[in-house]
């Protein structure tokens, strides 16, 4: 699902109960990870729930380094947050990933004030990991 579509759907939902349900539904749309992707190397540190991110380096149409991500979590709402982060970053050129600040989006969606501190930290950890991998891809 595209990030613009997710933002539009969020804006249609007034109640946070409905937004949480929508996040859970987003998580259900994630492509399942293969069993071999559940490794310590793919585990995201700093998340209270277990989160795995699998990174596949690619090239965009202009030959620039790009990254595709797949992910999963053992918690329903967190899996939805993984889907949100992947919609924002996956498949984009590494340079764009590094330059894209997720904080304004999270604030616009109201996540900043409606997530527990642990979930907010986990969300930041996912974004930091993705940006770190993008910087490494650019340097390679």
The answer to whether the CB of 77 falls within 8 A of the CB of 119 is yes
**CA–CA distance from 22 to each of 11, 17, 68, 138 (Å)?**
11, 9, 23, 34
pLDDT at residue 47 in the model: 79
pLDDT at residue 140 in the model: 82
* Cα–Cα distance, 31 to 111 (Å, whole number): 23
* Cα–Cα distance, 97 to 131 (Å, whole number): 6
Determine whether 84 is an active site residue: no
pLDDT in tens, 97-135: 999 999 999 999 988 789 888 888 989 999 999 999 999
Domain ranges, ordered by start, for the chain: 3-139
**CA–CA distance from 50 to each of 17, 72, 108, 113, 123 (Å)?**
23, 8, 26, 22, 12
Q: Which residues contact 27 (CB under 8 A, 6 or more apart)?
A: 73, 76, 77, 78, 79, 80, 81, 82, 83
What is the mean pLDDT of the segment spanning 6-10? Answer: 94
**CA–CA distance from 125 to each of 10, 25, 36, 81 (Å)?**
23, 22, 22, 12
Please choose, from the candidates 96, 109, 100, the residue with its C-alpha nearest in 3D space to the C-alpha of residue 127: 100
pLDDT at residue 61 in the model: 84
pLDDT in tens, 41-95: 999 998 789 999 999 999 888 888 999 999 999 999 999 999 999 999 999 999 9
> Which residue of the set 6, 23, 44, 47 is catalytic?
47
Residue 1 scores a pLDDT above 80: no
What is the mean pLDDT of the segment spanning 31-36? Answer: 94
Q: For domain 3-139, which CATH number applies: 3.90.470.10, 3.40.718.10, 3.90.960.10, 3.90.1010.10?
A: 3.90.1010.10
pLDDT tier, 12 (very low <50, low <70, confident <90, very high otherwise) = very high
């Amino acid at each position: 699902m595209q990030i613009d579509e997710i933002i539009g759907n969020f804006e249609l939902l007034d109640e946070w109960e409905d937004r949480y349900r929508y996040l859970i539904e987003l998580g259900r749309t994630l492509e399942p990870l293969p069993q071999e992707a559940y490794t310590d190397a793919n585990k995201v540190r700093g998340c209270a729930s277990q989160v795995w991110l699998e990174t596949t380096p690619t090239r965009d149409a202009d030959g620039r380094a790009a990254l595709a991500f797949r992910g999963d979590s053992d918690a329903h709402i967190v899996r939805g947050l993984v889907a949100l982060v992947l919609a924002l970053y996956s498949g984009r050129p590494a340079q764009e990933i590094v330059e894209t600040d997720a904080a304004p989006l999270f604030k616009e969606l109201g996540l900043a004030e409606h997530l527990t501190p642990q979930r907010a930290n986990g969300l930041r950890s996912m974004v930091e990991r993705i940006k770190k991998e993008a910087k490494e891809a650019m340097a390679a």
